[in-house]
Structure 1
Amino acid sequence: MTAQLTLVSHLLCPYVQRAAIALLEKDVPFERVVIDLAQKPDWFLEISPLGKVPLLRVPQPNGKDAVLFESNVICEYLEETQPGPRLHPEDPLARAEHRAWMEFGSAILADLWGYETTRDADVFEQKRQALVAKFQRVETALTALPNGPYFAGARFSLVDAVFAPIFRYFDVFDQISDSHIFDKTPKVRAWRRALSERPSVRHAVVPEYPQHLRAFLQKHEAHLLTLAGRA
């Protein structure tokens, strides 16, 4: 029997969610170890070159663990080594295009970080507009691809695993205030709905995720919270 993989995690991290979704999609047993990034344990700092999550601990025959870091690297490793459904296209060009859109998802997360943490109204609006523009790019891409429900049609892929945690943020944000970010992106909205119903996506976080995210916003005194109740 193969030794179990361990995913070192944080409760909110969208990059951790990518790896968790990939593991769940492939039905690979794994242990999840959650750490507090505000108080990183020594053992974590010793094995994490960048001091970030996720990490994937892979047991080796000598009794030690190999440690993988960076979410896309972890997802690619799982794709190459684990059984279960393929999460990348077989065609090399399509596979490269999917990897590029995974990187685009990371660029969205960079803007999303500013959107959710800034206390400044002007910065908030700049980030909102940046997100509008990026999701319009995604809308254009979806228009040229097979008709859903997922990024490339009927088959769930690693691009879906990357974007599902992004959309999850807005499940909470929309309860605070309508951002209007998705007003002109009907295909993105349909994709978002489909991903929210996927079991692997739902189970990639704890049930208390919304409460944890709201606490995070409060800790950062986020401008977003000042919009509560506005039309």
Structure 2
Amino acid sequence: MSNARLTLISHPLCPFVQRAAIVLLEKNVSFERVDVDLVYKPDWLLALSSTGKVPLLKVERPNRADTILFESMAICEYLNETQGGVSLYSNNALSRAQQRAWIEFGAAALADAWQFLNAQDLEIAENKKAVFRSKLQRLENELDQVPYFSGSAFSMVDVVFAPLFRYFDVLSPVVSQRIFNNLPRVTAWRGSLANRPSVVSAVRDDYAELFQQHLVKQQAIVSGFIR
């Protein structure tokens, strides 16, 4: 197990930061979290980040220079490999490869959902909603166990999808029910993730309020359908 001191450089709404936070919490690792303003990025962030994005994980080890990790999945895999507790990947090579493939699928689903949520044009919103729902239907056909993607074991696939599903907990059921209607397995999975302690604690208490403010500022169509 690593004895490094860990600092997660973060933004309150970033779904990729949530991935790293969930893994840290699942592994029961002590860490410091530092939120930054991505509109007015501090010079120290730009000096640390190769991309100017978050998350970053600062790894401080005794008698060694600090290391900065970027890209959420690289951070998550580092934490999974160096921290204690149950691995968030299968021990079986074939199953592990399948999990990584579904993680990539989750990245594409997140992009579709984000474009839907931020759409200012009704036609674009409807198109992106349809594309996103088609991905949910693909997941519905894949899921055959509960409560998590692979059954009883919480995995890295769940880590990736939890921040995506969280968006729809902020919206009025008028919006979310139409998207998740007739998808009982995905809906049950979504509910299990929403109740997972690491998922709950991966965001600040004011997450819903901040996300609502974001949608209003974006003049997104769905901003009129907030809980």
Query: Shorter-chain TM-score category?
Result: over 0.9
Normalization by structure 2: what TM-score? 0.95
The corresponding residue for 2:55 is 54
8 A Cα contact 1:55 1:67, kept in partner: yes
The corresponding residue for 1:92 is 93
Give the Cα separation in 2 of the matches to 1:57 and 1:195. Answer: 27
Normalization by structure 1: what TM-score? 0.93
8 A Cα contact 1:102 1:159, kept in partner: yes
2:33 counterpart of 1:32: yes
Q: Deviations over 1:157-193 (max 9, x none)?
A: 1111111111100001235634511112110000011
The corresponding residue for 1:157 is 155
The corresponding residue for 1:173 is 171
Give the Cα separation in 2 of the matches to 1:189 and 1:84. Answer: 28
- 1:133, distance to aligned residue in structure 2 (A): 0.2
- 1:227, distance to aligned residue in structure 2 (A): 4.9
The corresponding residue for 2:183 is 185
The corresponding residue for 1:18 is 19
Give the Cα separation in 1 of the matches to 2:177 and 2:50. Answer: 36
State the superposition RMSD in angstroms.
1.6
SS of the residue 2:78 aligns to: helix
The corresponding residue for 1:109 is 110
8 A Cα contact 1:10 1:35, kept in partner: yes
Decide which moves more: 203-212 or 60-69: 60-69
The alignment of Structure 1 onto Structure 2 pairs a total of residues equal to 226
Q: Summarize the Cα distance change of 1:4–1:175 in structure 2 as closer, same or farther, 3 Å threshold.
A: farther
Give the letter aligned to residue 96 of structure 1. A
Give the letter aligned to residue 200 of structure 1. S
The gaps in structure 2 that reach 5 residues or longer are: none
- 1:137, distance to aligned residue in structure 2 (A): 0.8
Give the Cα separation in 2 of the matches to 1:73 and 1:15. Answer: 11
SS of the residue 1:177 aligns to: helix
SS of the residue 1:181 aligns to: helix
Ranges of 4+ aligned residues in structure 1 off by more than 6 Å: none
SS of the residue 2:179 aligns to: coil
8 A Cα contact 1:176 1:225, kept in partner: no
Decide which moves more: 149-158 or 179-188: 179-188
SS of the residue 1:205 aligns to: coil
The corresponding residue for 1:208 is 206
Give the Cα separation in 2 of the matches to 1:176 and 1:221. Answer: 18
8 A Cα contact 2:168 2:176, kept in partner: no
Q: Deviations over 1:117-149 (max 9, x none)?
A: 121111000110011101011111113xxx210
Q: Deviations over 1:67-100 (max 9, x none)?
A: 1111111111111111112110000110111111
Q: Summarize the Cα distance change of 1:12–1:176 in structure 2 as closer, same or farther, 3 Å threshold.
A: farther
- 1:3, distance to aligned residue in structure 2 (A): 3.6
Give the Cα separation in 2 of the matches to 1:159 and 1:227. Answer: 29
- 1:110, distance to aligned residue in structure 2 (A): 0.8
Give the Cα separation in 2 of the matches to 1:113 and 1:16. Answer: 15
Give the Cα separation in 1 of the matches to 2:16 and 2:174. Answer: 24
